[in-house]
Structure 1
Amino acid sequence: MTESGQKKLPIFAFFIALIVKIFFLLTHHIQEDAFITWRVAQNLMDYGVIGFNGATKISSSTTHLYVFVSYFFNLIFGKENFIEPLLIFNSILFTIGSVLLSHLIFKDNKNKAIFIVLFGLLPPSIKISILGMEYGILFFLEMALLYYGFKKEKKWAVLLLPALIMFTRIDTVIFLGITFLVDLIWTKKIRWNYIFGGIIALAVSLTFNWFYFGEVVNNTIVAKKLRYDGNFTLKQNWDFFNLNYGNFWGMIKLPNDFNPFTIIIAIFELLCFIYLVRQRNNRNYFLWIIFVFGWVKQIIFLSQKSLFDWYYWVPQILLFVPVIIFILEIKEKRNLWLSLFAVYYIVPMLAFQAVHSIATGNGEWNYRRHIGLYLDIYEKDKNQWILLEPAGYVPYFSHLKTIDEVGLVDKDIQNEIVKDKDNYWLNTVKNRNPKYLLSYKNLFTEKDSAFYQENYKLVKEFRIKDHLQSQNPLLEKIYRLKPSGTDYNLYEKIRK
Structure 2
Amino acid sequence: MKKFEQLPLFAIVFTVLFKLLFLLTHHIQEDAFITWRVAQNLLDYGVIGFNGDTKISASTTHLYVFVSWFFNLLFGKENFIYPLLIFNSVLFTIGSYFLSKLLLKNPIQQAIFIFLFGVLPPSIKISILGMEYGILFFLYMSLLYFGFHQRKNWALIVFPILILFCRLDTVIFLGIVFLIDVIWHRKINWVYVLGGILANSVLLSFNYFYFNEFVNNTIVAKQLTYEGHFTAAQNWEYFLQNYGNFWGMLKLPGDFNLFTVIVLLFELIAFIIVIKVKENRNYFLWIIFIFGWSKQMIFISQKSLFDWYYWIPQILLFVPILVFILEINKKKYLWLSLLIVFYILPMLAFQTVHSIATGNGEWNYRRNIGLFLNEYEKDKNQFIFLEPAGYVPYFSQLKTIDEVGLVDKELQTEIKKDRKNYKLNVAKNRKPKYILAYKNLFEAENSEFYKSHYQLIKEFRIKNSLSSEYPILEKMYHLKPSGTDYNLYERIKIQEPKIELDSANKFSN
Letter in 2 for 1:406: V
Partner of 2:222: 224
The equivalent position to 2:324 in structure 1, one of 323, 326, 336, is 326
RMSD value over aligned CA atoms?
0.6
Letter in 1 for 2:408: D
Give the C-alpha shift of residue 474 in structure 1: 0.7
CA distance in 2, matches of 1:262, 1:424: 39
Partner of 1:31: 29
Partner of 2:3: 5
Q: Which runs of 5+ in 1 are unaligned?
A: none
Cα deviations across residues 413-442 of structure 1 (Å, max 9, x unaligned)? Answer: 101111111111001111100000000010
* Count of matched residue positions in the alignment of Structure 1 and Structure 2: 494
CA distance in 2, matches of 1:154, 1:341: 36
The equivalent position to 1:86 in structure 2, one of 61, 84, 97, is 84
The equivalent position to 2:471 in structure 1, one of 464, 470, 473, is 473
What TM-score does the superposition give when structure 2 sets the normalisation length?
Answer: 0.97
Give the C-alpha shift of residue 255 in structure 1: 2.5
Letter in 2 for 1:383: N
The equivalent position to 2:485 in structure 1, one of 461, 484, 487, is 487
SS at 2:268 equivalent? helix
Give the C-alpha shift of residue 368 in structure 1: 0.2
SS at 2:3 equivalent? helix
Cα deviations across residues 280-338 of structure 1 (Å, max 9, x unaligned)? Answer: 11110000000000000110000000010000000000000000011111111111110
SS at 2:6 equivalent? helix
Give the C-alpha shift of residue 278 in structure 1: 1.5
The equivalent position to 1:159 in structure 2, one of 151, 157, 160, is 157
Partner of 2:349: 351
Map 1:151-190; keep pairs closer than 5 Å.
151-190=149-188
CA distance in 2, matches of 1:88, 1:464: 29
Partner of 2:96: 98
CA distance in 2, matches of 1:181, 1:478: 46
Please state if 1:289 is matched with 2:287. Answer: yes
CA distance in 1, matches of 2:407, 2:173: 27
CA distance in 1, matches of 2:480, 2:349: 14
The percentage of aligned residue pairs carrying the same residue is 70
Letter in 2 for 1:80: E
Partner of 1:277: 275
In our comparison, the structure showing a higher alpha carbon Rg is 2
CA distance in 2, matches of 1:267, 1:427: 50
What TM-score does the superposition give when structure 1 sets the normalisation length?
Answer: 0.99
Map 1:351-430; keep pairs closer than 5 Å.
351-430=349-428
Give the C-alpha shift of residue 104 in structure 1: 0.4
The equivalent position to 1:194 in structure 2, one of 192, 195, 201, is 192
The equivalent position to 2:45 in structure 1, one of 30, 44, 47, is 47
SS at 1:461 equivalent? strand
CA distance in 2, matches of 1:257, 1:71: 42
Give the C-alpha shift of residue 4 in structure 1: 4.1
**Which contiguous aligned blocks of 4+ residues in structure 1 show a shift greater than 3 angstroms?**
none
Partner of 1:136: 134
CA distance in 2, matches of 1:432, 1:315: 41
Give the C-alpha shift of residue 257 in structure 1: 1.9
The equivalent position to 1:149 in structure 2, one of 147, 150, 169, is 147
CA distance in 1, matches of 2:138, 2:317: 17
Letter in 2 for 1:365: W
Partner of 2:430: 432
Letter in 2 for 1:341: L
Give the C-alpha shift of residue 353 in structure 1: 0.1
CA distance in 1, matches of 2:176, 2:25: 36
CA distance in 1, matches of 2:412, 2:20: 39
Partner of 1:205: 203
Letter in 2 for 1:206: L
Letter in 1 for 2:458: K
CA distance in 2, matches of 1:255, 1:169: 31
Give the C-alpha shift of residue 381 in structure 1: 0.2
